[in-house]
Amino acid sequence: MLHPIASHEPSLSCRLTGRTLQGMPGEAPRSKAWGFTLVELLVVIAIIGALAGLLVPAVRAARASSKNAACKNNLRQMGIALDLHNGTHGCYPVDGENGFGVGAFLLPYLEQKALYDQLKPREKKTANVGSIGDNLINSTIEVFVCPSFLRPQKGESSSLGPSNYIGNSFVFSKVTIYDDIVDGESNTIAMGETVNNHAWAKPGLAGSSPPSEAGAYSSRHGGGANFVFCDGSVHFIQEDVDPNVFTALSTIDGREAIGEW
C-alpha cells in the first residue's frame, strides 16, 4: 500500500511570521520589539518645541483681541447709558455734581439701580466721596473695568471701586444737551480709556490731549486707546493721531473741519 509522503513545508502560520516552527509544540512565535532611537526622540522634541513657539504668540494675540473686544463692549454699554440718561434728564450728567463723578449718574442704566438708589448722587451732597460707606463706593463694577487693566492692590492710593474710563471735559464739565454738540455727535468724544488710578464714583475728566502711555487718555492695548463717541459708536484712536484732529474730536462746538483719523 502506498503511504502519503509527509510535507516538510512550514505551515501557513509559520510562513506568515517568516520563521519555521521552533520550540515546544504550541509555543507562540516571538514578536520583534519596536522603539524610538535617541535621534528620533530628539527630532520629535524639536518639532513639538517649534510648534509651541508658533502657538504661544497666537494664543497671546487671541487673548489680547478678546480683551480689546470686551473693552469696546464696555464703552458701547456706557454710550447706551448716556443716551438713556439724556432721554430721562434731557442732558448729559455733570461731573462733580454733588461731589460725584459721571459714573455714579450712569449706574441705573448699567444694571446698578439698587446701588444708585443707596448712593443717591442727585440728592446727597458730599465734599469727599471716599467718606461714603465702603460697601457702596468700593464696589468693583465690571463694566467700568477693562479686562486688560491691572487692578490696584490693597494699600495703593485709592481703594475706591476702579474705573478705566474717563469723560471728556468738553461734554461733562457743565450741563450739555444734544443741541449743544454743534460739531455732531459722531464727531465728538464722550468717554475714553485711562490706566490711571481713577474711581467711578469720583469726579475727574480728561482734556484734549491724544492718548499716550501714561496720559489722561491711555490704555494697555498698545498703540492707542478706545473711545465711545456721543452717538454711541466706539473707535480705537492711535497714539500718533494728529493733535489738532484729536482736539477737534474733543470739542463740541469748535466747528473744525475733521479729516481722516
> What digits encode the pLDDT tens for the residues 163-221?
999 999 999 999 999 999 999 999 999 999 999 878 999 999 999 999 998 889 999 99
Reported as a single tens digit per residue, the pLDDT across 26-38 is: 555 555 656 678 8
Res. 252 pLDDT band, cuts 50 70 90: very high
Q: Is the pLDDT of residue 58 over 70?
A: no
Establish if 234 belongs to a structural domain: yes
Q: Kindly state the cell numbers that stand for 235.
A: 473707535
Percentage of residues in the chain having pLDDT higher than 90? 54
- What pLDDT sits at residue 157? 44
Across the range 83-99, mean pLDDT stands at 96
- What pLDDT sits at residue 27? 56
Domain total in the chain: 1
Establish if 184 belongs to a structural domain: yes
Across the range 111-139, mean pLDDT stands at 82
Establish if 66 belongs to a structural domain: no
Across the range 236-244, mean pLDDT stands at 95
Q: How far apart are the first and last CA of the chain?
A: 111
Q: Which of 129-143, 197-211, 241-255 has the lowest mean pLDDT?
A: 129-143
Q: Is the pLDDT of residue 24 over 60?
A: no
Q: Is the pLDDT of residue 152 over 60?
A: no
Establish if 243 belongs to a structural domain: yes
Percentage of residues in the chain having pLDDT higher than 70? 77
Would you say 234 and 226 are in contact if contact means Cβ atoms under 8 Å apart?
Answer: yes
Establish if 225 belongs to a structural domain: yes
- What pLDDT sits at residue 155? 36
Establish if 98 belongs to a structural domain: yes
SS3 content of the chain, % helix, strand, coil (to 5): 40, 10, 50
For the chain, give the mean pLDDT.
83
Establish if 60 belongs to a structural domain: no
For residue 191, the cross-strand partners are 167, 228
- What pLDDT sits at residue 21? 44
One-letter amino acid of 193: E
Establish if 86 belongs to a structural domain: yes
Domain coverage including residue 168: 72-250
Burial 146-180 (b: 16+ CB within 10 A, else e): bbbbeeeeeeeeeebbbbbbbbbbbbbeeebeeeb
